Structure 1
Amino acid sequence: MKNKITVFLFLFLGFVAHAQWKPQGDKIKTKWAEQVDPTKTLPEYPRPIMERSRWKNLNGLWNYAIQDFGKTAPSKYDGQILVPFAVESSLSGVMKQVGAEKELWYETNFSIDSNWKGQNILLHFGAVDWKTEVWINDIKVGSHTGGYTPFSFDITPFIKNGKKQKLTVKVWDPSNDGPQPRGKQVKNPEGIWYTPVTGIWQTVWIEPVNAKNITALKTTPDIDQNSISIKADVAGAETGDIIEISVFDGGTEIAKEKAVVGESLDIVLNNPKLWSPETPFLYQTKISLISKNKVVDQVESYFAMRKISSKRDENGIVRMQLNNKDYFQFGPLDQGWWPDGLYTAPTDEALKYDIIKTKELGFNMIRKHVKVEPERWYTHCDQLGILVWQDMPSGDEQPVWQNKKYFEGTELQRSAKSEAIYKKEWKEIMDHLYSYPSIVVWVPFNEAWGQFKTVEITNWTKNYDPSRLTNSSSGGNHFQAGDILDLHNYPGPEMYLYDARRVTVLGEYGGIGLPLEGHLWRTNDNWGYVKFKNENEVTAEYIKYAKILKSFVKSGFSAAVYTQTTDVEGEVNGFMTYDRKVDKMDFKEVNKINTEVINVLNQKNK
């Protein structure tokens, strides 16, 4: 009888949650919006590259309030918001703007599982845009700035006896009134600018750990030495504590090594299997923290054996190489926006879908444009086999496009505060994403937007992570720094500059528009570099551009990026509509021509 009551109570609470929440607005939505469950919102483990067996998801319906800046915690809340969807999104159930003059408050209660007794409790936020302050049981436990990286607090000392713990969060996001990295977010979206994203937009969760615990992993492959370097950061370590790493090929353990905490382990692999988009093989690992002959923490992870580099070919052209072979990288500009969730995909299936479709189109790369995705997105890329160029989200002053000075060596004079924000957040993004093997290129600047001290920033990026290539300034205001000269040209491909000392790439082109009624964010004022009327016309134009690109591959391009994966708000130049319900080109024909473009370089390596 007790079990029946429990099941009934669970179903009743689920019904109540559904009744309290519904998507807002009349904008288009993806098919996954219907699958969003406020009692089980984005339930997947949020950090797959460092996984523990015990954790608890705090996503769901929280109380929220939007108040004037500088006010104390609200005595009464405005209603409920579905975390982790930004307050401006439909799926939040709120769909209201905030702005620099207001602050967004959240409140929820959670419980600690009884079998976590004696453990330290870590509270994790996947990402919150932009400045976050956190209270547990009315005690402020910490703060964080930055909209794109995770942060956590050890909340153990502030846990009360009893079942319910109170969590309060305050967020301030100045949007384009501030100098902080924000990507395409603006207060008044139009054209290529989109809706602001304020507050929690990735999973919130807790996990129990011992006082001694593994806090981060850093993996660096070296295929030339057949080795993988793995370093574990540990909290609370003492002299004599040991890290043990086991490496698995499928279910078979192929290596096991130990080292004192603080030392990296360089594990040699016999005849390693190399990772590529064609064969995305991942080794699994188990990392154990041993203290006084007892395992006090253990996480599961993975790595790939792959190398990204550049080398001059037999014709004197500097080419990108993957695993020491010339390899043409070709993919879409992917902005990662959703009509229903904005920065946040409605489900994990949706998050993975765009990558699957990119592979279906015959691409081997994605340029992740001025946004950082949740960690699961990068794991999907690792597993499915897709190379990633990772942009730094742009911020501060936008260039005046008609003013040529922005593309002739004149850099933005940022304030000291703005420079410090950029450097802090760029380092955090690189640290956060370092161990994901799919990422092969860092892109600090895009089209002169917020571009400052280019040579210094580029050299720092390259020195901080010499295992990847650095694309200094994608599409403009070029300096002799980094590994890549990156040209943008719309609509068709053009090689109007060439660098004999660096890799030359076409970092953006295309933008072929096709507005489809019933799948538009706006009924009018939709934008594309060129527009056509149907799938056949758009596909024909795409193939025309791809044939031009083939000739440029022979003469010097080593990569190309087509704009773009999906329509985004007022932009209608995607391979798919914004709601992902219609493929706007003939994907089989696109795959065929894309394969031809890639094989101009890659066929000699087969």
Structure 2
Amino acid sequence: MTFRTEYPRPQFVRQKWLNLNGVWDFAFDDEKKGTEEKWFKEHSTAFNQQINVPFAYQTKLSGIEDSTFHDFVWYRRQFEVPASWQGQRVVLHFGAVDYRAWVYVNEQLVGFHEGGHVSFQFDITDYLQGGKETLVVRVEDPSTDETIPRGKQFWVEKSDAIWYTRTTGIWQTVWIEPVSPIHLKKLKFTPNVDEGEVIVECEVDGNYAEAKVEMEILFKGERIAKELFELQEPYHRHSINLFNRKIFRTSFHNDGWAWTPENPNLFDVKVSLLQGDSVMDELQSYFGMRKVHTENGMVYLNNRPYYQKLVLDQGYWPEGLLTAPTDEDLKMDIELAKEMGFNGCRKHQKVEDPRFLYWADQLGFLVWGECAASPSYSEDAVALLTKEWIEIVERDYSHPSIVAWVPINESWGVPHIRSNRQQQHHSLAMYHLIHSLDPTRLVISNDGWELTKTDICAVHNYNHGNHDEVAKYEKFKEDLATKEGILHSQPARRGIYANGFAHEGEPILLTEFGGIGFKVDDANGWGYTSVANVEDYLADYRRIMEAIYSSKILFGYCYTQLTDVEQEINGILTYDRKPKCDLKEIKCINEMWHADTI
């Protein structure tokens, strides 16, 4: 059985492609001898297991389910290029491989990639020989290396506290597709809501002489623009004004075409690369007209104050870990969150599958994008995280659902940032780097505490106490009530800003809190506080949210968390997505605050 059969790149869709998910040969290389013994040779006898790609060997769905350390692993499978692709270039794509990958085709090394969270590809045309082709992937995932961005993947074999089982190797779809010798390489959309225009950037690979790009934009099935522009160089930037289109002149102010969680309007795009009378490449994409900025201590969405009701989402599944078993599972998480009255999520310590972002775009769901952190600080860790973020922003830039980037969380990887100037400079460098790559979104410099320069003052506070800890709850409520209370609080015995930095008027949001532990069925684990039954769970949720909504300064929140994860039982849903209570009750509580109170 082949899992994850949907096309994996939703904003760069080609019709012809071949999914390489499914059963592959597999081997552990604990003695690190595979390269020397040439396991990349077609008839190597080293492969003594099979694995179901795209699931890591630690998962049940992989067919192996081994959580012990194996830092080097090998994959092998054969494939055939369809005869109809003859004369085209063949590109091999990987959705994500954690952490380093060496890729061989027909015993030849075609490329190397470092970074466990985003996609990469190689043109393998010159390595193909016709008929059965052999693909081999060698992976290194250092289990205990604290310089690599690993997020919640624990560097000890057994999961504990907030740390979970590791993901090694291929964990997103692998596929091949044909392209012409000249083809579209990149496509990027930047909405300009104030001017009613979308800026399109495209890049082609190959001989672009006499090449043109034709772009057709549709809205709800109706064509609103069709433009043709010549390529003077491989990269082209083009602005398309939408205000000039008659149907949009009067509809902007009622979300007639802007993207919001309540009205997730999207523009479908067909892009054709032409050379002479020939269509050299063709793809489908989409974009949303969405603007986010801060002003007067509030976050604005499309120039209106917008209160964010987020839920912390770790993006783990019991049988697939970081890999959702199906595309429907990604969609369902968003639908369940919206059913509870949340309008977005903070994807915590994970760069999520692009299919999740597709559903967030389609269904209307805000996303704070976050990368896995390195546990320790070093110059190597700085370089690795920086490289990862450049690739993240490039991959996900055009998704309207993403409204913020979170490069650092709770001083992970920068443990001395409070007073260490070097680590403060790293935080500042990440803040400015991301803004230099993406001027359209907010950047939170160190979500939780010890912030440096930041667009949002993002605070974590779990000190609400159990229902009978009245004094603790009152202190929690008092700390959140006013600007002065929040900025002088030290919820984790850490200041809200690092030394030398202070609040500059940016919006204040409570971006981690709650975490009520509630054991359901046979689950065992922990939460920040605990309750014994459904009635107490709902009462405690209401008690905590009343403190949030009574604040005179908070302009949004992120509740911990959507689901249980391994030993954490502080989700509103169980690990397998069963509600712990009537979700209508959660929604009712979440809707105690209304936008018309601004």
TM-score by length of 1: 0.86
2-structure distance, mates of 1:278, 1:179? 41
Q: Does the alignment pair 1:203 with 2:173? A: yes
1:149-178 C-alpha deviation (Å, 9 max, x unpaired): 00001010111122x110000000013424
Task: Return the match for 1:86 from 47, 56, 60.
Answer: 56
Q: How does 1:423-442 map to 2 (within 5 A)?
A: 423-442=386-405
2-structure distance, mates of 1:237, 1:603? 56
- Name the amino acid aligned to 2:439: P
The 3 A distance-change label for structure 1 pair 76 and 459 is: closer
1-structure distance, mates of 2:115, 2:95? 11
Instruction: Give how far 1:129 is off.
Output: 0.2
Task: Report the counterpart of residue 10 of structure 2 in structure 1.
Answer: 48
Q: How does 1:440-451 map to 2 (within 5 A)?
A: 440-451=403-414
CA contact (8 A) 1:176 1:182 kept: no
CA contact (8 A) 1:98 1:104 kept: no
Q: Does the alignment pair 1:300 with 2:270? A: no
2-structure distance, mates of 1:142, 1:156? 13
CA contact (8 A) 1:181 1:422 kept: yes
Instruction: Give how far 1:491 is off.
Output: 4.3
Q: Does the alignment pair 1:231 with 2:201? A: yes
Q: Does the alignment pair 1:185 with 2:185? A: no
Task: Return the match for 2:455 from 475, 478, 483.
Answer: 483
CA contact (8 A) 2:81 2:130 kept: no
Structure 2: gaps (5+ residues): 415-422, 465-475, 488-502
Q: Does the alignment pair 1:512 with 2:512? A: no
- Name the amino acid aligned to 2:428: V
Instruction: Give how far 1:98 is off.
Output: 5.7
- Name the amino acid aligned to 2:260: S
Instruction: Give how far 1:269 is off.
Output: 0.8
Instruction: Give how far 1:579 is off.
Output: 1.3
2-structure distance, mates of 1:548, 1:390? 27
2-structure distance, mates of 1:350, 1:214? 31
2-structure distance, mates of 1:242, 1:54? 22
Structure 1: gaps (5+ residues): 1-37, 313-317, 398-413
Instruction: Give how far 1:123 is off.
Output: 0.5
Instruction: Give how far 1:140 is off.
Output: 0.6
Task: Report the counterpart of residue 568 of structure 1 in structure 2.
Answer: 565
2-structure distance, mates of 1:353, 1:491? 31
2-structure distance, mates of 1:173, 1:590? 40
2-structure distance, mates of 1:157, 1:466? 39
CA contact (8 A) 2:374 2:381 kept: no
CA contact (8 A) 1:462 1:482 kept: no
1-structure distance, mates of 2:238, 2:205? 18
- Name the amino acid aligned to 1:119: Q
Give the match's secondary structure for 1:596.
coil
Instruction: Give how far 1:546 is off.
Output: 1.0
Instruction: Give how far 1:604 is off.
Output: 5.5
Task: Report the counterpart of residue 289 of structure 1 in structure 2.
Answer: 273
Q: How does 1:517-596 map to 2 (within 5 A)?
A: 517-518=521-522, 520=523, 524=524, 526-552=525-551, 555-580=552-577, 582-596=578-592
- Name the amino acid aligned to 1:171: V
Give the match's secondary structure for 1:140.
strand
The answer to which of 318-327 and 494-503 deviates more is: 494-503
CA contact (8 A) 2:267 2:287 kept: yes
- Name the amino acid aligned to 1:146: G
Q: Which runs of 4+ in 1 moved over 6 A?
A: none
Instruction: Give how far 1:418 is off.
Output: 1.9
CA contact (8 A) 2:149 2:381 kept: no
Task: Report the counterpart of residue 407 of structure 1 in structure 2.
Answer: none
2-structure distance, mates of 1:369, 1:95? 24
Q: How does 1:145-156 map to 2 (within 5 A)?
A: 145-156=114-125
Instruction: Give how far 1:263 is off.
Output: 1.9
CA contact (8 A) 1:361 1:594 kept: yes
- Name the amino acid aligned to 2:170: I
1-structure distance, mates of 2:107, 2:308? 51
Instruction: Give how far 1:586 is off.
Output: 2.5
Instruction: Give how far 1:76 is off.
Output: 2.6
Give the match's secondary structure for 1:206.
strand
Task: Report the counterpart of residue 114 of structure 1 in structure 2.
Answer: 83
Task: Report the counterpart of residue 497 of structure 1 in structure 2.
Answer: 486
- Name the amino acid aligned to 1:469: L
Number of aligned residues: 532
CA contact (8 A) 1:459 1:482 kept: no
Task: Return the match for 1:353 from 318, 322, 332.
Answer: 332
Instruction: Give how far 1:70 is off.
Output: 4.2
1-structure distance, mates of 2:181, 2:532? 62
1-structure distance, mates of 2:548, 2:378? 40
TM-score by length of 2: 0.87
